[in-house]
Copies of this chain bind each other. A is one copy, B any other.
Amino acid sequence: MLPQAVLREATDRKLFDEVVGRERVTRAELATATGFSKPTVSESVRRLTEGGLLAATGPQETGRRGRVGTFYELGTAAGWVLAVEVDQSGVQAWSADLAGRVLHRHDRPPGGAGDTGALAEALRATVSAALRKPPAGPLRAVAVSMANPVHPDTREVIALPRSPFPEGLLSPGDILADLVTAPVLVDNDVNLAALAEQRFGDATSFAYLYVGAGLGLGLYLGGTLVRGAHGLAGEVGYLPGAGWRTLATELAAAGLGRSDAPSNDVAAVLRALDAGTPAVLMALVAAVARAVASVTAVVDPEVVLLGGPLGTHPALLDPVRAAVATLSPSPTRLDHGTLGALAPLHGATHLALDHAVAAAIKHDVPG
C-alpha cells in the first residue's frame, strides 16, 4: 500500500461523513465545510461515487444566483450493515444503511430460556430473516452485541463465573459463518451502549454504567472504547464492596440482581423502587455510588451516564449524586442515558458502520 494512502483515506472518510451528516451537498459546500480545495473534493467525490458509496442526485434547486451545482448523497449501492443484539429477552436485529438509518427491524423471543443452543438457533433465524429482506447493495458488516465480555483481540466470547449465559460459549462468527460473508464483529453490550451514548452526546471521555440484572460499565476514553487487556474492562461487578466481597456478591446477598433469575429480580426491584422501599433503594444506591466513585477515582471521565432498567429509574439519580459527592472531589457530571434499552443496538450499528465505511474506503481506488 502506498504511504500517501493514509491521506487519501482520511480525506475520503471526512468527506463521506460530511455528506452523510448533511444528507445532500454539492462539492462546493463540501470544500468550504471541510477546508479541502475544490479539486481535491472533486477527486475524492469521484472516487467515492465510482466505489458506489456516494451518488449524484440531480441538480441543486435553482432560485439562487450562480451556476446550479450537483447534489451528492449516500449511493443506493453503498450497501448496508446488520446490527444484532443477543440477550435473555431474545434476539433483535436492525438493518441500517451506511448513514445509520434503520431500515428494517427483526425480533425473536427467547427460545429455551438460558439454553445456548436455542440462543444460537435464534441468532441464525433472526439473521436469516434479515437477509430475506435485503436492502440495496452489499451487506458490508455485521455487529453482534452480547451480554458477555469479549476478548479484545480474538473477539471470542469470554465465560465468567456468574455470567448471564450458561456454560458453553456462543461464537457469533462461527454461528453465522455459512450465512454471511461480511465480517462479523462481536462486542459487549454495555461497551456498545457506551459507544452509542457517546456518539449521541459528545463528551470525549465518558463512562456508561449499566444497572440491571448486574452491573456493567462501558468506557470511552481518548476516542476509543476501552476493552481492557483481557476484555474485562468495565466488569464493575467485581469491584470490592463494603465488606471483603465483590459488589455483585453484596448486591445478590441483599436480594438484588441475583444472576440465577435476573429478569424477575429486575421487575421486583423496579416495583420496590416505585413503592419507595427504603432498604432496596439504599442498597442499590450504595452499590451504584461505589461504582461511580470508583470509576471517577480511576479514570475521571467527563460524564458518567446511568443506563439499564434500574439505572434509568428516577429515584436513583439524586441519592447517587449525593453519595458520590461525599467521596469524590471530581466535578464529573452524572446523568441518565438517553437511548434506553436500545443503546446496545445503536452501538452495534455504529460499530458495524464504522468498520464498513473504513473498509469500503480502503479498498476501492478506482483510477
Contacts and interface: CB of A to CB of B under 8 A. Distances in A.
A221 B230 contact: no
Contacts of A232: 296-297, 300, 329-330
B205 A228 contact: yes
A309 to B, nearest CB: 22
A233 B207 CA distance: 13
Interface in A227-242: 227-240, 242
Interface in A287-315: 289-290, 293-302
A118 to B, nearest CB: 26
A27 B226 CA distance: 39
A236 B330 CA distance: 12
B293 A240 contact: yes
Contacts of A222: 221-222, 224, 226
Nearest to A323: B244
A21 interface: no
Contacts of A201: none
Interface of A: 3-4, 6-7, 160-161, 203-205, 217, 219, 221-222, 224, 226-240, 242-246, 286, 289-290, 293-302, 323, 326-332
Given A228-B301, A233-B298, A295-B298, 16 more contacts: A4-B4, A204-B229, A219-B299, A221-B221, A230-B331, A232-B329, A232-B330, A235-B300, A240-B327, A242-B242, A242-B243, A244-B286, A244-B323, A244-B326, A245-B327, A298-B298
A314 B307 CA distance: 42
Contacts of A296: 232, 238
A289 B231 CA distance: 21
Nearest to A300: B228
30 contacts: A3-B7, A4-B4, A6-B7, A203-B229, A217-B298, A219-B299, A221-B221, A221-B222, A221-B226, A222-B222, A222-B224, A222-B226, A228-B299, A228-B330, A229-B302, A230-B331, A232-B330, A235-B329, A235-B330, A236-B297, A238-B296, A238-B329, A239-B298, A240-B242, A242-B243, A244-B286, A244-B323, A246-B327, A294-B294, A294-B297
A3 B36 CA distance: 10
Contacts of A329: 160-161, 232, 235, 238
How many monomers of this chain does the complex have?
2
Contacts of A4: 4, 7
Contacts of A302: 229-230
A205 B221 CA distance: 13
With most chain B CB atoms within 10 A of its CB, the pick from A204, A219, A222 is A222
Contacts of A224: 222
B294 A233 contact: no
A308 to B, nearest CB: 17
A40 to B, nearest CB: 9
A124 B100 CA distance: 57
B294 A332 contact: no
A300 B221 contact: no
A233 B160 contact: no
A226 B206 CA distance: 12
B231 A300 contact: yes
Contacts of A226: 221-222, 299
Contacts of A238: 293, 296-297, 327-330
Contacts of A300: 227-235
Nearest to A7: B3
A289 B240 CA distance: 9
